[in-house]
Chain A
Amino acid sequence: MLTALLPESLLVATALVVLGLGVSMPGARTMSTVIALLGGFLAAAALLIFPIDGNFLHGMVVLDPIARIFKLVILALGLIAAVFASESFLETHFAESLALILFGTVGMMLLTGTEDLLMIFLALELTSIPLYVLAAFNKASRASAEAGLKYFLIGSISAAFLLYGLSLIYGVTGSTNLLAISKAAADPLLTAGIVLTLAGFAFKVAAVPFQLWAPDVYEGAPTAAAALVASGSKVAGIFILVKLLTAGLGHWSGAAGWGQFLPGWAPVLALMAAASILLGNITALVQSNVKRLLAYSAIAHGGYLLLGLSSARAETIPAVLFYVIVYALTTAGAFGVVAIVEKQSGGSRLDDFNGLAKSSPVLALCLLVFFISLAGIPPLAGFFGKFYLFSTALENPSMLWLVILAIAMNAVSLYYYLIVLKHAFVLPACGDIRPAGSPASRVVVAALALAVLTLGLAPNLLLGQITRPVPVKVASLKTGN
């Protein structure tokens, strides 16, 4: 059992060491970053060398190959955020920011390896609280304080909703284990529980109408924190939502088809998806700050993911999982570019990207790859993710209404992605730009761009891992027709 939680324990130990380092040697930024990265690599090695499958502590810790892939991805995203954090201006409390990133990563990893309501809540809080603090980390910026406060307040309220919902589910079904819950009988109180739980998770995924925190947090928080929020917490949130809905609440899915409405969580998700896709894409059209634009695009992508879930078919699940990983890698890379540009030009408004192609051609090319992947243009991973998602969602032909909306809004989204690229490639720079940004972040950004391209040309590398048959059964979702 100890080896089951070995990666997380290693990360916690690393975080404590980094904290100790921060107290004893406050100026040692590079050493703290190196130690954090080393700890991360050790944890990854532990994940790969000890591939444990099984059910521990009555479902509190559940490991299977897919969960391990997600833990690996989350670990990578956490380390990427740590590298971007070293890019920042923050001189004081730098080691604490690294420790918080590591603790948040631990929370996300725990979230992907559980089947118990209590553990879900615990891990969710362990993920969120470091992120709240990280969002407010830049003490010199009012926007950062606003971001942290909004994130904390709205996050706490939704955590309260979530806890209430989970407790209602426990009250009705008599157990906190997801598999035991799936065997329970229906009950009106259960509906209330499910709705409240969905509200809590919708906050994590930034779905309408729980998306108000996202633009301010993405814009105000230090870019590394925003990167972790955008990529890591979305991956973990979607994974556990998938697990909850399929393994636990599969019986009460209902149907969201046009003219085939059945009450359940699927119609709720479908409506949230439609609203998110519409609001996210349309509001992004008028943004002038790239980080805010990425926030609205995150809302839209949350909508696409919820679309996949709302079709309530077992075939769509691998597509959702594939897409969230691809999206997380792309967004992390996009935020990395933004971090470097912020250092170069002093801000992240559209005009700060002018002339990027001339001053840093490789960086501009990476930006092109990330944004075109987000827009869903081949041959990049974002396109295949969306394609796979829509194809499998249409296994339920009555979902056509939502897919039409999604494809239409996806075409619209190309406009605002192209606007950013226009500033980078077409418009000349205002004033002199000296290329900045540490080699480490540039290497990470380039590696992410390469990963996005590779996954677009050979998606089987990831897809083959995700569609392997899983020891833990996925209950009761309709398969095929």
Chain B
Amino acid sequence: MTNDYLLLTIFLAIAIVFPLIPLAMAWAWARLFSPAKPGKDKQSSYECGIESTGPAQVQFQSHYYLYALVFLVFDVETVFLMPFAAAFLKLPISAFLALMVFLLLLMEGLVWAWAKGILAWK
């Protein structure tokens, strides 16, 4: 038991240290190599040399979210298809029917989303 936890502790330590290394390197690089940025003008974003106008925040398009939702559903469907595919030859026909029902349900969801105009960019 002590060995298992020891392994976990080492794992935890590496997990913490691992992301810190690039951060530390970036900080060190910035400190040593990048040019100084002393003022407001130097910190501002580059827009072909002219003064930037308008706020930097652009409204998030909710359509991305809807696409991501529908994608997620079908991604998880794929995940479920994989073990079924792996064990396909050993399963009885009722399992095939059950999975067809599953696919059909998700297909109807897609049809519904399509018909409601969710997939069209407005």
Q: Do A and B come from one complex?
A: yes
Q: Would you give the 0/1 interface string for B83-120, flagging 1 where the beta carbon is closer than 8 Å to chain A? A: 00000000000000000000001001001100110000
| In the assembled complex, A418 has its CB within 8 A of some CB on chain B | no
Residues of B within 8 A of A19 (CB): 108, 112
How many residues of chain B get a CB closer than 8 Å to chain A's CBs?
Answer: 6
Residues of B within 8 A of A69 (CB): none
Nearest-neighbour CB distance to chain B for A31, whole angstroms, equals 17
Residues of A within 8 A of B111 (CB): 23
Closest to B113 in A: A23
Of B108, B115, B116, the residue contacting A16 (CB under 8 A) is B108
Closest to B114 in A: A23
Residues of A within 8 A of B105 (CB): 16
Residues of A within 8 A of B116 (CB): 23
Residues of A within 8 A of B115 (CB): 23-24
Q: Is the interface of B mostly helix, strand, loop or mixed?
A: helix
Nearest-neighbour CB distance to chain A for B63, whole angstroms, equals 17
Residues of A within 8 A of B112 (CB): 19, 23
Closest to B116 in A: A23
Residues of A within 8 A of B108 (CB): 16, 19-20
Give A20 to B111 CA distance when docked, in angstroms.
9
Residues of B within 8 A of A23 (CB): 111-112, 115-116
Nearest-neighbour CB distance to chain A for B55, whole angstroms, equals 25
| Number of A-B pairs, beta carbon distance below 8 Å | 10
Nearest-neighbour CB distance to chain B for A136, whole angstroms, equals 15
Closest to A2 in B: B94
Nearest-neighbour CB distance to chain B for A1, whole angstroms, equals 10
Give A23 to B113 CA distance when docked, in angstroms.
9
Q: Would you give the 0/1 interface string for A54-83, flagging 1 where the beta carbon is closer than 8 Å to chain B? A: 000000000000000000000000000000
Q: Would you give the 0/1 interface string for A13-48, flagging 1 where the beta carbon is closer than 8 Å to chain B? A: 000100110011000000000000000000000000
Residues of B within 8 A of A24 (CB): 115
Closest to B104 in A: A16
Q: Would you give the 0/1 interface string for B17-59, flagging 1 where the beta carbon is closer than 8 Å to chain A? A: 0000000000000000000000000000000000000000000
Give A32 to B105 CA distance when docked, in angstroms.
20
Nearest-neighbour CB distance to chain A for B101, whole angstroms, equals 10
Give A209 to B115 CA distance when docked, in angstroms.
43
Give A20 to B112 CA distance when docked, in angstroms.
7
Give A20 to B109 CA distance when docked, in angstroms.
10
Give A23 to B110 CA distance when docked, in angstroms.
12
Nearest-neighbour CB distance to chain A for B56, whole angstroms, equals 28
Give A16 to B108 CA distance when docked, in angstroms.
8
Closest to B115 in A: A23
Give A20 to B115 CA distance when docked, in angstroms.
10
Give A222 to B115 CA distance when docked, in angstroms.
25
Residues of B within 8 A of A16 (CB): 105, 108
Residues of B within 8 A of A20 (CB): 108
Give A23 to B115 CA distance when docked, in angstroms.
6
Give A20 to B107 CA distance when docked, in angstroms.
12
Nearest-neighbour CB distance to chain B for A249, whole angstroms, equals 28
Give A385 to B108 CA distance when docked, in angstroms.
44
Closest to B109 in A: A19
Give A405 to B66 CA distance when docked, in angstroms.
50
Give A19 to B115 CA distance when docked, in angstroms.
11
Nearest-neighbour CB distance to chain A for B70, whole angstroms, equals 16
Give A184 to B9 CA distance when docked, in angstroms.
32
Q: Would you give the 0/1 interface string for A400-430, flagging 1 where the beta carbon is closer than 8 Å to chain B? A: 0000000000000000000000000000000
Give A191 to B108 CA distance when docked, in angstroms.
43
Give A225 to B108 CA distance when docked, in angstroms.
24
Tell me the residues in window 157-208 of chain A with beta carbons closer than 8 Å to chain B beta carbons.
none
Nearest-neighbour CB distance to chain A for B31, whole angstroms, equals 42
Nearest-neighbour CB distance to chain A for B99, whole angstroms, equals 16
Give A19 to B112 CA distance when docked, in angstroms.
8
Nearest-neighbour CB distance to chain A for B97, whole angstroms, equals 11
Closest to A1 in B: B94
Nearest-neighbour CB distance to chain A for B86, whole angstroms, equals 21
Give A16 to B111 CA distance when docked, in angstroms.
11
Interface residues of B (CB under 8 A from A): 105, 108, 111-112, 115-116
Since A16-B108, A19-B108, A24-B115 are in contact, a sample of 7 more A-B pairs with Cβ atoms closer than 8 Å, ordered by chain A residue number, is A16-B105, A19-B112, A20-B108, A23-B111, A23-B112, A23-B115, A23-B116
3 closest residue pairs by CB, A with B:
A23-B115, A19-B112, A23-B112
Sample of 10 A–B contacts (CB below 8 Å): A16-B105, A16-B108, A19-B108, A19-B112, A20-B108, A23-B111, A23-B112, A23-B115, A23-B116, A24-B115
Interface residues of A (CB under 8 A from B): 16, 19-20, 23-24
